[in-house]
């Protein structure tokens, strides 16, 4: 088998900046993935470029990500952490790795921290752990929100017999292919139309003004990594007053993605500013914040909310396209962000609640907690527990890094698992194999006091990013970068 060879020209052509990252990327890939197909290796590199924070804790790919993440500046005065941090609740501690616990303890020592919690699907991230919830006083932490601002779930429930997914599998698979596109740099040739693109922030903030054109071409796309669009079976055992769906079995369309390049650019731009204004010791430097009474903090808040609206618009466009093709309107839609910051009341005081990979779970608030490409997900209703800062898990959570999954999971094992569960997979890599995730049933048991389950979604036809991107669809063609 030919050994992998990558050159600097190829990396620059997909957007890698001039500097040490070029040689680090070449050496890392050629040494650790020498037998990976060239196209697959380049797609991994695109994904790291798009979302470096997602790979920062990976023992191998993190070396590349580290070169792409903004560094702290020495402009501002160094700020000390509190000796003892705020108390925070941990749910499912037996399932949470030490690295995530350590990151949460660090966040709890921030002088702006008011309350916090760690969800049972938590694992190490960058700054605030994924699955970390942190409430602060009049301050927002860009990396506490995450790079993929507004990453969210959206479920449409159709009054269609889900047996059709088996009877007309090719039809439904085609609809997924034509409704969206995947890939870290993917753009539509024909831009969609949506009111979010007329938001005045695009014309008043210089950063957003420069991102407007690309954002428009990515409107309705789905990204890479763990993002997906899938058809499955929705089961409602008994009617819930909040969900409002009669008991029965339905066809469901579930999507998971965020704000694409728009959110990533906003996150990295304002994190760089935050680090310049507030230098924090050691690994805490990624928790640098902006005050909401500061110009930069107000700008970030506006940009973050726009990115959230943009992410929502992407989902709605996908769902509207498919609903039109099905000739049906959904009887119910359920959706929620899980990478965002909200102004909320906590113990009688307004705070900024960061949920980085956590689902809002206020009293009677609906949300979706997915499993994996073969494991069922859950429609949930929040119980409004202050101990969790009104939050719950956002998924099963990784138990295996992407690198570990790619090295240890075989295509045969993945194929057998898909067959076992009757799932058709379109795209999707070994890094997203079900084996890389925790048991969703264990996660749900660990948060019974946080949410009630009001429905279940079992995936059957799953569309994810694949290593080799083609032009998707007859009407909505895409070209990767």
**pLDDT, tens only, 27-39:** 999 889 888 888 8
pLDDT for the residue 194: 94
**Angle formed at CA 466 by CA 52 and CA 17, multiple of 5 degrees:** 30
Residue appearing with tokens 């420069």? 210
**Secondary structure of residue 3 in the 3-state scheme:** coil
pTM: 0.83
**Neighbouring residues of 191: CB distance < 8 A, sequence distance ≥ 6:** 216, 217, 219
Give the domains, in start order, of the chain with CATH numbers. Answer: 8-68 (no CATH), 152-257+311-331+365-479 (3.90.1860.10)
- Tell me the two tokens of residue 130: 């994924």
Nearest to 150 by CA among 261, 15, 271, 290: 261
- Tell me the two tokens of residue 297: 């903090």
Nearest to 388 by CA among 336, 344, 428: 344
Burial class of residue 98 (count of CB atoms within 10 Å of its CB; 0-12, 13-18, 19+):
exposed
Question: Please, what are the averages of pLDDT over each run of 10 residues along the chain (481 residues)?
Answer: 83 82 90 86 86 83 88 66 93 93 96 97 91 98 96 98 96 94 81 92 95 93 91 97 97 96 94 94 92 96 98 97 96 97 95 98 98 97 97 95 89 95 93 94 97 98 70 26 19
pLDDT for the residue 191: 78
**pLDDT, tens only, 164-189:** 999 999 999 999 999 998 877 778 88
**Secondary structure of residue 51 in the 3-state scheme:** coil
**Secondary structure of residue 56 in the 3-state scheme:** coil
Interatomic CA distance for residues 56 and 47, integer angstroms: 12
pLDDT for the residue 75: 56
pLDDT for the residue 77: 62
- Name the CA dihedral angle for 449, 450, 456, 457, rounded to a multiple of 10 degrees: -140
pLDDT for the residue 126: 82
pLDDT for the residue 69: 83
- DSSP structure string for 138-207: SEE-HHHH-SSTT-EEEEEEESS-TTHHHHTHHHHHHHHHHH--BSTT-EESS----GGGG-THHHHSHH
């Amino acid at each position: 088998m030919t050994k992998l060879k990558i050159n600097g020209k190829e990396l620059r052509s997909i957007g890698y900046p001039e500097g040490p990252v070029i040689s680090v990327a070449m050496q890392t890939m050629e040494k650790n993935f020498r037998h990976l197909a060239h196209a697959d290796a380049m797609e991994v590199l695109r994904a790291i470029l798009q979302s470096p924070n997602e790979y920062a804790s990976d023992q191998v790919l993190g070396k590349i990500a580290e070169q792409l993440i903004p560094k702290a500046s020495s402009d501002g005065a160094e700020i000390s952490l509190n000796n003892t941090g705020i108390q925070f609740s941990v749910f499912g501690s037996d399932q949470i790795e030490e690295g995530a616990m350590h990151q949460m303890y660090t966040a709890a020592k921030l002088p702006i921290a008011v309350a916090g919690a760690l969800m049972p699907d938590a694992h190490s991230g960058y700054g605030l752990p994924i699955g970390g919830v942190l409430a602060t006083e009049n301050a927002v932490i860009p990396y506490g929100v995450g790079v993929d601002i507004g990453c969210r779930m959206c479920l449409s429930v159709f009054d269609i017999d889900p047996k059709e997914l088996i009877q007309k599998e090719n039809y439904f698979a085609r609809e997924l292919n034509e409704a969206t596109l995947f890939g870290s740099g993917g753009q539509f040739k024909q831009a969609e139309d949506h009111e979010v693109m007329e938001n005045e922030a695009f014309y008043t903030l210089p950063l957003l003004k420069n991102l407007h054109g690309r954002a428009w071409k990515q409107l309705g796309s789905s990204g890479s990594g763990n993002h997906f669009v899938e058809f499955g079976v929705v089961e409602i055992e008994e009617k819930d007053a909040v969900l409002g769906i009669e008991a029965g079995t339905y066809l469901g369309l579930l999507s998971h993605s965020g704000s694409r390049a728009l959110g990533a650019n906003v996150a990295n731009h304002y994190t760089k500013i935050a680090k310049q204004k507030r230098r924090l010791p050691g690994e805490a430097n990624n928790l640098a914040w902006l005050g909401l009474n500061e110009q930069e903090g107000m700008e970030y808040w506006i940009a973050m909310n726009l990115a959230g609206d943009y992410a929502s618009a992407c989902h709605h466009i996908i769902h509207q396209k498919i609903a039109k093709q099905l000739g049906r309107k959904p009887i119910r839609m359920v959706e929620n962000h899980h990478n965002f910051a909200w102004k909320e009341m906590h113990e009688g005081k307004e705070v900024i609640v960061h949920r980085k990979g956590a689902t809002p779970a206020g009293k009677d608030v609906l949300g979706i907690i997915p499993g994996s490409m073969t494991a069922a997900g859950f429609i949930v209703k929040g119980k409004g527990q202050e101990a969790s800062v009104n939050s719950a898990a956002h998924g099963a959570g990784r138990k295996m890094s992407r690198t570990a999954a790619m090295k240890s999971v075989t295509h045969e094992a993945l194929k057998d698992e898909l067959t076992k569960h009757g799932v058709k997979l379109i795209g999707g890599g070994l890094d997203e194999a079900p084996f890389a995730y925790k048991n969703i049933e264990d996660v749900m048991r660990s948060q019974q006091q946080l949410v009630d389950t009001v429905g279940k979604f079992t995936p059957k036809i799953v569309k994810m990013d694949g290593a080799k991107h083609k032009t998707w669809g007859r009407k909505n063609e895409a070209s990767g970068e």
